[in-house]
Amino acid sequence: MASVYVHAPFCARRCQYCDFAVQVRKDADPGVWLDALARERALLDDEGVFRLADRLDTLYVGGGTPSLFGTGAMAGLARVVGRERLEAPGLEWTSEANPESFVSEVAEDWRKAGVNRVSLGVQSFHEPALRWMGRLHGSSGAYQAVAAARSAGFREVSVDLIFGLPERTERSWSEDLGRVIDLGVPHVSLYGLTVEAGTPLGRSVSAGRVELPPEERYREEYLEAAERLTGAGWIHYEVSNFARPGHESRHNQVYWTGGGYLGLGNGAHGYAHPLRRWNLRDWNAYENALREGRLPVEGQETLDPEAYRLERTWLQLRTRHGVSCTALDRGVRELVRSWADRGLASVSDSVRLTAAGWLVMDRLTLELDARLEGSQEPRPRRSAVPPAKVAARKGRA
């Protein structure tokens, strides 16, 4: 495995919409986290199914809130992974951070440890919306965090924004887009607010205390973002990601192209074709398994050819490269041309979804897969627009 995802399990507060594998702790001890990761790595080495490459291409630390650990954690992680594996000149080492804990001291410490890309969970620049979501930073948090990153020497900075917030927040999506454009960061990720059962938001919606915006406004905000960001020079290279040329996330592209990766930490996923495996989500259960000398595996699946084809189609349609038309028969070509006629795709050597097509990507994936397998009966599939967090099967994106 030349790509590794590492999960940081702690947050100072759980956000309204959060359904991730996190535990609320105001004072997170990096030593406890690093000890658990070292135990897991040793057990994986003994097992031999997920082997680390001599040199890593990408390392992604997500959460949770990695910046909550303060200084020293990333240097400790380098020791767990193996400092010699982080010496490739092209290594992309990303870590997520929340603005309130990504202060100058942390930024400088991360750069010294070898982190060279930071992903900031900004979500909004609107104070009431931030309070409603349960975020701990204020409207100036994004500016301060980006300034800290730039002062420490980070050239690769990504900002997350959430769209589709309830009208009660009175957030102006247009204004937030204008602010992120003015911020001048090279990468922006968008996430539509989704309701997950068991979250504070899920309970509020079920009880009728919160009303989500109509689907049409969700669509309008996504399309407005696509138009304004691409118009300002960002490439819409994946359903929820925009980058200046040359600043695309290489780690996430491993997921989208079906590459192998190792997952470390509670709730983390790993993939070594055709095997996908995921860890226990609960931090205490994960840590206890390791203390008992057991791999903290919650489950696994082996993709059969049909499942693999469907997943590859879905992942390819997520990106601006799309699905190659070379091997498509006449019936399938007629289908994708009908998408183009409705403004959902462009068709040349590949079929590539437009922003409007990405909004209905699940349905289009099922239509295409049904034609590819010669069946007219689509099967249920996952949601296309990702929830509010960077994803790709990490517990997300």
Each residue's pLDDT tens digit, 33-61: 999 999 999 999 999 999 999 999 999 99
pLDDT at position 384: 39
pLDDT at position 390: 33
Q: Could you tell me if 155 and 111 are in contact, meaning their C-beta atoms sit under 8 angstroms apart?
A: no
Listed residue (53, 128, 66) closest to 97, CA to CA: 66
Task: Establish how many alpha carbons lie within 13 A of residue 268's alpha carbon, considering only the half-sphere containing its beta carbon.
Answer: 25
The first and second tokens of residue 202, run together, are 């899920």
Q: What is the pTM of this model?
A: 0.92
Listed residue (131, 10, 123) closest to 65, CA to CA: 10
What whole-number distance in Å separates Cα of residue 29 and Cα of residue 66?
11
Q: Could you tell me if 62 and 22 are in contact, meaning their C-beta atoms sit under 8 angstroms apart?
A: no
pLDDT at position 167: 92
What whole-number distance in Å separates Cα of residue 176 and Cα of residue 15?
19
Residue 41, SS3 per DSSP: helix
pLDDT at position 343: 97
Give the sign of the dihedral formed by CA 80, CA 97, CA 202, CA 241.
negative
pLDDT at position 257: 93
What whole-number distance in Å separates Cα of residue 202 and Cα of residue 212?
11
Q: Could you tell me if 113 and 78 are in contact, meaning their C-beta atoms sit under 8 angstroms apart?
A: yes
What whole-number distance in Å separates Cα of residue 237 and Cα of residue 321?
8
Radius of gyration for the alpha carbons in the chain, expressed in angstroms and rounded = 21
Structural element, H or E, at residue 112: helix 104-113
CA distances from 166 to 163, 191, 193, 209 (A): 9, 14, 9, 11
What whole-number distance in Å separates Cα of residue 255 and Cα of residue 87?
22
Can you list the positions of beta strands (E) in the chain?
3-8, 10-11, 23-24, 58-63, 92-97, 117-123, 156-163, 187-192, 235-238, 241-243, 262-264, 269-272, 275-279, 297-302, 323-324, 345-347, 350-353
The residue type at 207: A
The domains located in the chain, with CATH, are 3-255 (3.20.20.70)
* pLDDT digit string, tens, across residues 206-215: 999 999 999 9
3-state helix, strand, coil in the chain (%, to 5): 40, 20, 40
Structural element, H or E, at residue 106: helix 104-113
> For the chain, which ranges sit under pLDDT 50?
375-397
Listed residue (13, 85, 72) closest to 45, CA to CA: 85
Look at the block and give the residue holding tokens 């948090």: 141
Q: Could you tell me if 41 and 80 are in contact, meaning their C-beta atoms sit under 8 angstroms apart?
A: yes
pLDDT at position 394: 29
